[in-house]
Structure 1
Amino acid sequence: MNRTIMAGVALAAFGATAVSAQDAEFTLRIQTHHSPESIAGKSAAQFYDDVETMSGGRIAIEPFYASAVVKSAETFDAAMNGILDGDLTSGAYQTGKDSAFQFVGDPMGGYDTPWQMYAFLYNGGGLEAAQALYNEYGMQLIGWWIAAPESLASARPLTSPADLEGWKFRSPPGMQTQIFADLGASPIVMDFTEVFTSLESGIIEGADMSNLAVNKSSGLYDVVKHATFPGFHSMPADHFAIRKDLWDSMPEDLQRIIDVAMQKLAFRITLTGSVETLQAASDLEAQGVTIHDWSQEDRRTFREAAVAAWSDFATTDAARELIDLHKEFQATIGLTDDR
């Protein structure tokens, strides 16, 4: 279905739900880039239902899936400008505004588990620093949610950082290419659609696409037989942000409902992601795929390279503040020796 048709479907849904929402005190038009049939999309739908139910109908949600109204990276601006009210995509889409958004959306190599990133948000000063950034653009950050750390797919073993030397792989653009290049790899930026033919032809030896379960469902391990798991290099977080003037107009009890529902969304999707990736690892090993779990020492080596690249990528005071907070929290929980 092309974007014009999808937008039409979404706007038709908008009109259909407007009548049922007419008695609500607040109606939130929220867009996500996830499709309604995906696990993330179903989780978003549950989040919407939780908010509506707990508010006793005082809040109504008009949902738009699969970036039906505007492109994914434009959702934030659409909410800022009143076309939408909420953005359920990713802060990393906004690095063009401020490099600080990278360290909200994916502080690459920074943490081993989603729970550590949640702890940074709620216990390491992350929410306060990120909130100042979002408020600068007229948005209120409610929270973030993380499915699972990402895994690499490779035609050759990746047992340690030493195996990255000369490794040619599909990489997304941005900070990741620098991190892997600094460790001796040869990242090649390419679209997802080119990955399979490039792997089959030997143009690349591996790929960074998503977490292990998604990689498996995409068929990557039908082509190559090595995977890193649990992941260590990337753990992207989706965010939920609301236009600040709308948020400020809500009474505290409704704000609390949205906040609590967001924390439930994060908790449940991380549990689901954990189960899915563990099941994928078991299935893949049974199919002859070799799983490589890096040691804590090797993860620390990668983290040191990542943190060095962070400083090069940070171009604003907001980015540098978030980096300093990440470093301080990493030391606090024993991920680095920088105390």
Structure 2
Amino acid sequence: MTGVTAIVAVGALTACAGTSGGGEEVGSAEAWLDELEPRVLKLADFSGDQTANFGAAMVEWEEAITEFTDGKITFENYWSSSLLNATDTLPGVRDGVADIGLIIATTYPQELPVGTWLSGLGGALSGSTVHDVAAGGAASLENSWTFDALTDEYAANNLKILQSTSTPAYNLLCTKPIDSLADAAGALTRSSGEVWTNTAEALGMTTVSLPFNEAYEGLQRGVIDCMIINPNQYVSGLILKDVAPEYVPVTFAQLQASTWVINLDVWESFPPELQDFITEESARTAYKIWQGYLDIEAGAGEVIAAGEEVRTHDVSELEDMAAAQRAKALEGMAESAPAAVSDPQAVIDEYRERVQYWTDALTEEGYEVTARDPDAILEAFAGLRDVDLSGYYEKFESEFVQSQLK
């Protein structure tokens, strides 16, 4: 399928031309740099500004590239849909309106059927924030770089994947208490897509289509009772703690791949030395986003743990039902694979194996998977600010990232 298993086995032994992650020049770097034409690249991010998790990480990525090229490559940033919105980004980067952009594959099911199908792998998670972000993120990035059916699909749209990351598990933020299947029955719930809708419906909820920017008002006015989203929305983005004070930590799928892309023509115009540097920096940017997710979730966790503005509910009855639905969905994914995926069951199995491999790596670092009872969840939130993924990333970088360099 992807060749990840074989690549990782030899990754630490791969000899690489190019550059180190710190930007040290190797070989004939001066020659290519002398020949590099100055240019300004436009970056479009619909998700937020330079202070948000993605934006802050990408600004550091830009600064590293500008420094490495002695100022020949600089950037012009367009935040919060000021140039391209979520539905415009693929054609906009493809056609050169922007050079770099953020894409969620499920927004483009016609152009990205393989990427859309892979979103179902977001159900292969534990609900434990550290593991879903870092192990899920590592597996997502491996898949994004090595799965030919996916990279070919992006290339057909004149795009090259820079990096992808996975979110924490989605949970329920509600206006009313939900502690049982009886409470969940009929609750009007905003869902972001099929992978979440199917779980909500298995719990007996009624899903509602509502634009993201209308969710706050929808909860406030009773148009919806719940929203399926990361708990960080209590303190960032929509700041939902004022209108949805009931935290129901039942485990919904993560967003499997938030994907940063670059125009393929632009990418292919770069010399190999610069491509290798960007590859290394892109992986390091993914790591910074992992760490950023933990920091954001920690902020939400502090609000949740305080118990003053937000109340946490026991989801043991809901969790069993949700887990059973996610497992069934993963088992049935192969049947709905696009024609470009030649062995879909192998894709699913290998992805799950990679998630488990990186989960085990985190366990070896001392991070145990969090149980899904209220006390364990609150304890895990309290520890998120102390999580240091640097050693884990060194393992990922040596085993996988180095194997991807020219």
TM superposition score normalised by structure 1 = 0.77
Residues 89-168 of structure 1 correspond to what in structure 2 (within 5 A)? 89-103=103-117, 107-112=121-126, 113-123=132-142, 127-129=146-148, 130-146=150-166, 148-158=168-178, 164-168=184-188
* Alignment-mate amino acid for residue 94 of structure 2: M
* Alignment-mate amino acid for residue 253 of structure 1: E
The CA deviation at 1:177 is 2.5
Contact 2:163 2:260 in 1 (8 A): yes
The CA deviation at 1:137 is 2.0
1:43 aligns with 2:57: yes
Aligned to 2:347: 325
Contact 2:202 2:321 in 1 (8 A): no
Do the aligned partners of residues 179 and 151 (structure 1) sit closer, same or farther apart at CA in structure 2, a change above 3 Å counting? closer
* Residue of 307, 327, 342 corresponding to 1:304: 327
In structure 2, C-alpha distance between the alignment counterparts of 1:65 and 1:212, rounded to whole Å: 23
1:234 aligns with 2:282: no
In structure 1, C-alpha distance between the alignment counterparts of 2:186 and 2:77, rounded to whole Å: 45
Aligned to 2:41: 28
* Alignment-mate amino acid for residue 65 of structure 1: W
In structure 1, C-alpha distance between the alignment counterparts of 2:144 and 2:100, rounded to whole Å: 23
Aligned to 1:250: 270
The CA deviation at 1:302 is 3.8
Do the aligned partners of residues 181 and 320 (structure 1) sit closer, same or farther apart at CA in structure 2, a change above 3 Å counting? farther
Aligned to 1:7: none
SS at match of 2:275: helix
* Residue of 289, 299, 304 corresponding to 2:310: 289
Aligned to 1:82: 96
In structure 1, C-alpha distance between the alignment counterparts of 2:249 and 2:66, rounded to whole Å: 38
Do the aligned partners of residues 155 and 83 (structure 1) sit closer, same or farther apart at CA in structure 2, a change above 3 Å counting? closer
Structure 2 spans left out of the alignment, 5+ residues: 1-35, 127-131, 358-406
The CA deviation at 1:153 is 0.4
The CA deviation at 1:148 is 3.5
Matched length: 312
TM superposition score normalised by structure 2 = 0.65
Do the aligned partners of residues 237 and 28 (structure 1) sit closer, same or farther apart at CA in structure 2, a change above 3 Å counting? same
* Alignment-mate amino acid for residue 206 of structure 1: C
SS at match of 1:242: strand
